[in-house]
A and B are shown apart, each in its own frame.
Chain A
Amino acid sequence: MKTESTLEKVLASGNFAVTSECGPPRGALPDKVREKGNYLKGVVDAVNVTDNQTAMVRMSSLAASVLLKQDGLDPLLQMVTRDRNRLAMQADIIGAYSLGINTMLCLSGDHTQFGDHPMAANVHDIDSIQLIQMVKTMRDEGKFQGGADIKGPPKMFIGAAANPFADPFELRVMRLAKKIAAGADFIQTQCIFNIEKFEKWMEGVRARGLHRKCYILAGVTPMKSVGAARYMKNKVPGMDVPAELVERMGAVPKEKQPEEGVNICIEIIERLKKIEGVAGIHIMAIDWEEKVKEIVERAGLFPRPQV
């Protein structure tokens, strides 16, 4: 074991892992974090805490992670390279680890253009792969990116993201290989709706033996409505929602659509569980944390293993 991370223990013990996420509030509302955390407690192995997601200012991932930790959850600190340079990121990594956070996800982050501060500078001192490298060097060599020794290195279980649905498709497996070579211990993917395409990507992953070098958690999202399905299909770059799923959502009355969205999500999980090399799922129920328990239960993944 590289770390004390619960997620690492679950994965290393061969259990099918379940993670979910909590988007911090846009204000000093600690109770909102606790309320979301309460829905996920005991339901998942780690809770991703987003870092200014969609380039909108929110309570910091670190602060919200600490709030969840205080309530007995296992936070998974997300960190984007958009907002901070390498000094600030390393400081936060040490700070997070000092406060009991031992699992993180390294991302480049949505472009500022998508958020409410499009006039802000995009930092991008380093990219997501260089961030992975930096966290690994801090953990395994006890060295800062600049080369100096760290007294008390942070032992982070290192995650990265992968989007099998973005272009160029043929590069996507190699990009994963690069993230693993940089030091990623686990991967969480973009939401999967197009299973055929995901299976094709996984074939490429297995052909390079990458599923043996890294745990792959397949991302899923329950759709709340046909409107949400259409939005993801048409408006979110790098999302692949097949037309028949949008039609299926639209074919049921509005009040039944949330239930249909959850049904689809569970069907997708059932198929993902059968794919060789998928080590777990990551449920992104955006502002719908109260549904996660039902999904985990109905997918036969409850209770979670005690490791």
Chain B
Amino acid sequence: MITAERKPLEELIEFVRPFKRILLVGCNECVTVCAAGGRKEVGLLASGLKMALLQNGQDIEIREHTLERQCDPEYIDELLPMMDGVEAVMSMACGCGVQEIARRYKDRPVFPAVNTKFMGASERQGEWSERCQGCGNCLLGITGGICPIARCSKRLMNGPCGGSVTGKCEISRDVDCAWQLIWDRLKALGLEEQYLNIIPAKDWRSAGGGGPRKIIREDLAE
């Protein structure tokens, strides 16, 4: 999923300070799962903002709504009846959701309430780690199911650098060495010799080097 973290309240207060009525929009997808911008967080942030502004003698009306998905235009339309008199929108979705709202409601400013972080998986309750950088040409089939692009600090595609120590990355004891993990997997699968195959220089066009990316599925297009 796409992970996100809420921005500091102080930053969000500065966004909304000029307005008397805003719409705060959550998303029921990834940001709900990582507890950054779902229904619950919308409620918490709305009261937090109101209280903080009230302390400065400023009254603000915050309408709250959480969409099924903010990255889909059909759900964004749902906001229309709530837009009356709204001066600005604050989105608690990932960057995709923020941009969809900006595209649909062109006459109102839209502010992000979260910092979109990475595509990751849950390690344990309250902890997520990066797993995929969406390079557009998946290598996992030849790297033991562990991605060196997303998980090696130097994005090395042909083995560990000289800083791998007891399974950890040289940048931090809290980061696993991706190549230690890959090697352990190759060993477990009896595929040690596969390591000797050189992975050639990558074509980064599919990773965004070719400009903004797009998928067109003619079979699904109307």
Mark interface residues in A226-257 (1 if CB within 8 Å of B CB, else 0).
00000000000110000000000000000000
Please pick, from B179, B201, B202, the residue contacting A133 in the complex, using a CB distance under 8 A. Answer: B201
- Interface residues contributed by chain B, number (CB under 8 Å): 31
Q: Is the CB of A127 within 8 A of B162?
A: no
Q: Is there contact, CB below 8 Å, between A178 and B171?
A: no
Q: Which residues of chain A come closer than 8 Å to B184, judged between CB atoms?
A: 168
Distance in angstroms from B12 CB to nearest chain A CB is: 24
Chain A residue numbers with a CB within 8 Å of B177 are 167
- In Å, the complex CA distance between A163 and B159 comes to 12
A174 interface residue per 8 A CB criterion: yes
A208 CB to nearest B CB, Å: 10
CB pair B155–A238 under 8 Å, yes or no, is no
With A145-B201, A174-B195, A238-B170 in contact, do A190 and B162 touch (Cβ < 8 Å)? yes
Q: How far is the CB of A175 from chain B (nearest CB, A)?
A: 5
> At the interface, yes or no: B96 with Cβ under 8 Å from chain A?
no
Q: Is A94 an interface residue (CB 8 A)?
A: no
Interface centre among A128, A130, A167, A190 (most CB of B within 10 A): A167
A143 within 8 A of B: no
Instruction: Determine whether B160 belongs to the interface, using a CB cutoff of 8 Å to chain A.
Output: yes
CA distance A82 to B171 in the complex (A): 14
Is the pair B160, A175 in contact by a Cβ cutoff of 8 Å? Answer: yes
Instruction: Knowing A126-B201, A167-B180, A238-B170 are in contact, say whether A177-B196 is a contact too (CB < 8 A).
Output: yes
Q: How far is the CA of A109 from the CA of B161 in the complex (A)?
A: 9
CA distance A163 to B164 in the complex (A): 10
A127: B residues at CB distance < 8 A: 154-158
Name the CB-closest residue of A to B155: A124
Please indicate the chain B residues that have their CB under 8 angstroms from the CB of A130 in the complex: 157-158, 198-201
Closest chain-B Cβ to A124's Cβ sits at a distance in Å of 4
Given contacts A129-B198, A130-B200, are A82 and B154 in contact (CB under 8 A)? yes
Contact: A178 with B201, CB < 8 Å?
Answer: no
Q: Across the interface, name the chain B residue whose C-beta is closest to A145.
A: B201
Q: Tell me if B204 is interfacial: C-beta within 8 Å of chain A.
A: yes
Is the CB of B153 closer than 8 A to any CB of chain A? yes
Interface digits, B184-222 against A, CB 8 Å rule (1 contact, 0 not)? 100000001001101111101000000000000000000
Interface of chain A residues 153 through 196 with chain B (CB within 8 A): 161-163, 165-168, 171, 174-175, 177-178, 181-182, 190
User: Is the Cβ of B163 less than 8 Å from the Cβ of A134?
Assistant: no
Closest residue on chain B to residue A125 by CB atoms: B204
| B156-A166 in contact (CB<8A) | no
Asked if A166 meets B164 with Cβ closer than 8 Å, knowing A111-B171, A128-B156, the reply is: yes
A122 contacts chain B at the CB level, 8 A cutoff: yes
Across the interface, which residues of B come within 8 angstroms of A109, CB to CB?
A: 154
Collect the chain B residues with CB atoms within 8 Å of residue A238's CB.
161-165, 170
A67-96 vs B: 1/0 string, CB under 8 Å? 000000000000000100010000000000
Q: Are the C-beta atoms of A108 and B156 separated by less than 8 Å?
A: yes
Give the contacting residue for B160; candidates A124, A145, A171, A190; CB below 8 A: A171
CA distance A168 to B187 in the complex (A): 12
Least distance between A160 CB and chain B CB atoms (Å): 11
On chain A, the residues within 8 Å of B201 by CB distance are 86, 125-126, 130, 133-134, 145
Which chain A residues lie closer than 8 Å to B167 at the CB level?
167-168
Tell me the nearest residue of chain B to A129, going by C-beta: B158
Query: Within the complex, what minimum Cβ distance (angstroms) separates A82 from chain B?
Result: 7
Residues of B within 8 A of A111 (CB): 153-154, 163, 170-171
Contact of B196 among A126, A133, A174 (CB under 8 A): A174
A110 CA / B192 CA spacing, docked (Å): 27
Q: Can you list 30 pairs linking A and B with CB atoms under 8 Å apart? A: A82-B154, A111-B153, A113-B171, A114-B170, A122-B153, A124-B154, A125-B201, A125-B204, A126-B201, A127-B157, A128-B156, A130-B157, A133-B198, A162-B162, A166-B162, A167-B165, A167-B166, A168-B180, A174-B159, A174-B195, A175-B158, A175-B160, A178-B158, A178-B159, A178-B198, A181-B198, A190-B162, A237-B170, A238-B164, A238-B170
Which 10 pairs, one residue from A and one from B, show the smallest C-beta to C-beta distance? A163-B162, A237-B170, A237-B163, A129-B158, A124-B155, A130-B201, A238-B162, A127-B156, A175-B159, A126-B201
Which residues of A does B touch, CB under 8 Å? Answer: 82, 86, 108-111, 113-114, 122, 124-130, 133-134, 145, 161-163, 165-168, 171, 174-175, 177-178, 181-182, 190, 237-238
Please give the residue numbers on chain B whose beta carbons come within 8 Å of chain A beta carbons, in ascending order.
153-167, 170-171, 177, 179-180, 183-184, 192, 195-196, 198-202, 204
Inter-chain pairs besides A111-B170, A134-B201, 13 sampled, C-beta below 8 Å: A82-B154, A109-B154, A113-B153, A124-B156, A126-B202, A128-B161, A130-B158, A130-B200, A133-B201, A163-B161, A167-B165, A238-B161, A238-B165
